[in-house]
A and B are shown apart, each in its own frame.
Chain A
Amino acid sequence: MAGVGGGNDFQWCFSQVKGAIDEDVAEADIISTVEFNYSGDLLATGDKGGRVVIFQREQESKNRPHSRGEYNVYSTFQSHEPEFDYLKSLEIEEKINKIRWLPQQNAAHSLLSTNDKTIKLWKISERDKKAEGYNLKEEDGRLRDPFRITSLRVPVLQPMDLMVEASPRRIFANAHTYHINSISVNSDHETYLSADDLRINLWHLEITDRSFSILFCSSKGTIRLCDMRAAALCDRHTKFFEEPEDPSSRSFFSEIISSISDVKFSHSGRYMMTRDYLSVKVWDLNMENRPVETYQVHEYLRSKLCSLYENDCIFDKFECCWNGTDSAIMTGSYNNFFRMFDRNTRRDITLEASRESSKPRGILKPRKVCTGGKRKKDEISVDSLDFNKKILHTAWHPKENVIAVAATNNLYIFQDKMN
């Protein structure tokens, strides 16, 4: 499975875009998280309005064997509502910060969705049959008078239009003082972790009123990895990942830009990837003193840090993701650009998620930012970048070269071109 474009062997092309075309973006429609499920057949998005939209991939049709299935809406539901914390006189946003699929254990699908304070376990089940011919009630639900019943019959299952229902199964609340920024399901499938800026909580999926809390120091540019198999207390069995700071590049913003906005384990479990403001680093879990690979995402922003600090962009939390074979990584940038790095060939590419390049099966053209000197044709200069258009959330299909990119209120799906 190849990862990155550039060259004759592999190219990305447009597949679909979901969302309104309006220039005027409703705040509630801004997509705040994107996540494929384990098989890649389902793609869930959460938005600022607290809604979850799940897309399902259509089965590949026999008529067009070379085109992969499209993603269409499977289910939509309101996961979280805005709340008001009366103790602190603060609003709690309904924005969905994270969605995590649980491994499928029966016909239904389950996922965890969280806003800043509350995590909910949703069960999504299909219904395509209904029972007809009840003895004690009419078809419309009215109860029948028992004395009127003269004969018994067995209810019969009749087919009906597919209905997808989402129902909340568990609500895990009131355990985070600060904003929950991520959740992660453990491999035992019974417990999961939720993290805010200061604490990690460990929950059991069945128990909603209690959680274990692991406190840790939040420090810049470092990761603490705790082995929970070895001991319940995490102080001894931890790894501490930190890269020594380069003193010559120290600035007022060194701490802010080394603050890590996302961490993702590789599918193999051998590596870990961290995203800070300007770069992505790949760490070998056996080597704590420095990363094995560092990729510059948008180094040209280093000279703009003061302005980015002023307009708060420096606090943007970009996510990153691995492809299914861990050979490539992807992360977002500004101006609706996103970047992919091939770990084997060391090639990288910058692509743009925009309506202009959204022709069906149209090949995406690589983009380039001009960092100084003469601007070549098709390059864009740093000062022309639109910092309102940021791609914070991206997801890579676990098995195929299909990616989902959230650009404000639009969800773009790209796939590789079949040669």
Chain B
Amino acid sequence: MLFSEHTNGVGWAKMTGKGLKRKLPEEGDLPEGATVQKGSGLYSAQRQSVLNISLDKYNRGQRLLEPSLRRSVLIANTLRQIQEEIRQEASDSGTPQISTPPVAQVSPLSESSSLKEALPTPTPPSRLSMENHPMGLGDSDDWTLLSSEEDFSLSSAISSLLKELDVVIDGSPAPSPQRTPLGSIENLETEKADKQEPCRAESKHGGCPEGCRPSETVFGNLEIMSSSYLCDVALDDLFLDIDTSVYEREAGSLGSRTLSSAASDEFLKYLPSCHPSSFSMNPNARDLNELEHIMEILVGS
């Protein structure tokens, strides 16, 4: 039985009590929480490790035995917690560069002039160019304005680009700054015959996110059920909403500070592999190329 088959190649040797030496330093074994600063590299490394393990567990192929609901829910919640943190950090890091709310960036052209006057502080050059040409950043002269310090502004520029794209594509107002590619598990079960579906994974504050019934009304339902098969969906269907492809990309690109927003990852899929450019002296040449490519896509659409 006794060890699950889940140990992956993270380099951790089983604790079998036989005195095996571990092969790699144990990041995960350092005391978590209290002594590790949240912003430190060590914390990120720990988090990455937990993310990898969670993904591995989550992606395990269908086994013959039905997996335990409790275990699946706990793994999914851990994944989500990490995702929330990463997204929070991404939005925090983007904020200092934006002196106005992102929404202002995508306002109609007619208002942009008044907005410019309203800006209290000078925005980085990339911002200005965004305002002048909300859809078109094809002017290559603007690239020279970007310096190595403006990675963050780059990521925020892309974020707002994508929001604008949402406006164009959806024809609806820009969505809230935090896009949620991962729908909450609770919102899933519209196809279930059983209407009393309770919250599966509550947030850490014990309350249910939007879209889920409050626990009080769900709890109160007492029903007589016949012994025929319940129409609940299989366990796997519960987690369809979790888009683990987001994490796989995240796992690979932790080193790059830009483009940590999950939404922008989708655009990365369309980018060609990076190649040297005339800006190869500039450490951000690759990023600039990517941005240029994004703009081509946007302008072309």
Contact = CB atoms under 8 A, between A and B. Distances in A.
A and B together in one complex: yes
Interface of A: 25, 27, 30, 48, 85, 87-88, 90-93, 116, 173-175, 177-179, 196-198, 208-220, 222, 224, 232-236, 238, 242, 245, 248-256, 259, 302-307, 309-312, 315, 335, 383-388, 408
Interface in B217-249: 217-230, 232, 234
B144 interface: no
Contact of A255 (B53, B74, B196): B74
14 contacts: A88-B234, A174-B229, A208-B227, A212-B225, A219-B215, A220-B77, A235-B216, A235-B217, A252-B50, A255-B204, A303-B29, A306-B49, A307-B12, A311-B4
Given A238-B219, A259-B70, A306-B29, A387 B16 contact: yes
B28 A385 contact: no
Given A91-B65, A312-B6, 12 more contacts: A174-B227, A211-B225, A212-B224, A212-B225, A233-B221, A235-B216, A238-B219, A253-B78, A310-B8, A312-B3, A315-B71, A388-B3
Given A177-B232, A217-B215, A310-B12, A210 B227 contact: yes
B19, B66, B69, B221 pick with most chain A CB within 10 angstroms: B66
Contacts of A210: 224-227
Interface residues of B, number: 67
B169 interface: no
Nearest to A236: B220
Contacts of B29: 303-304, 306-307
B230 A177 contact: yes
Given A305-B32, A307-B15, A209 B226 contact: yes
B64 A90 contact: yes
Contact of B196 (A215, A253, A384): A215
B254 interface: no
B74 A259 contact: yes
A311 B50 contact: no
Given A179-B69, A311-B14, A219 B206 contact: yes
Nearest to A380: B17
A214 to B, nearest CB: 6
B6, B221, B222, B223 pick with most chain A CB within 10 angstroms: B222
Given A233-B220, A310-B8, A252 B46 contact: yes
Given A215-B196, A242-B206, A252 B47 contact: yes
Contacts of A25: 1-2
B178 interface: no
Given A175-B225, A197-B69, A198-B69, A408 B2 contact: yes
Given A213-B223, A217-B215, A259-B74, A311 B229 contact: no
Interface in B114-133: none
B180 interface: no
Contacts of B202: 217, 219-220
State the majority secondary structure of interface residues on B. loop
A222 B215 CA distance: 13
B77 A255 contact: yes
Nearest to B199: A217
Contacts of B196: 215
B109 interface: no
Contact of A215 (B4, B7, B15, B218): B218
A367 to B, nearest CB: 14
Contacts of A197: 68-70, 73
Nearest to A181: B70
A250 B84 CA distance: 15
B12 to A, nearest CB: 6
B41 interface: no
Nearest to B52: A310
A386 B69 CA distance: 27
Nearest to B31: A303
B167 to A, nearest CB: 36
Interface string B23-39: 00011111111100000
Nearest to A252: B50
Contacts of A386: 15-17
A232 B218 CA distance: 14
A95 to B, nearest CB: 10
B213 to A, nearest CB: 9
A259 B225 CA distance: 28
A179 to B, nearest CB: 6
A306 B50 CA distance: 7
Given A253-B78, A310-B6, A315 B73 contact: no
B7, B33, B73 pick with most chain A CB within 10 angstroms: B33
Nearest to B13: A307
B198 A216 contact: yes
Contact of A209 (B199, B204, B206, B227): B227
B81 interface: yes
A276 to B, nearest CB: 12
A173 B227 contact: yes
A197 to B, nearest CB: 4
A222 B27 CA distance: 30
Contacts of B220: 233-236
Contact of B200 (A211, A218, A254): A218
B297 interface: no
Nearest to B205: A245
A311 B46 contact: no
Nearest to B28: A306
Nearest to B34: A248
B73 A218 contact: yes
B299 interface: no
Contacts of B227: 173-175, 208-211
Given A179-B68, A210-B224, A217-B219, A310 B15 contact: no
Contacts of A238: 219
Contacts of B64: 90-91
A251 B16 contact: no
A302 B32 CA distance: 8
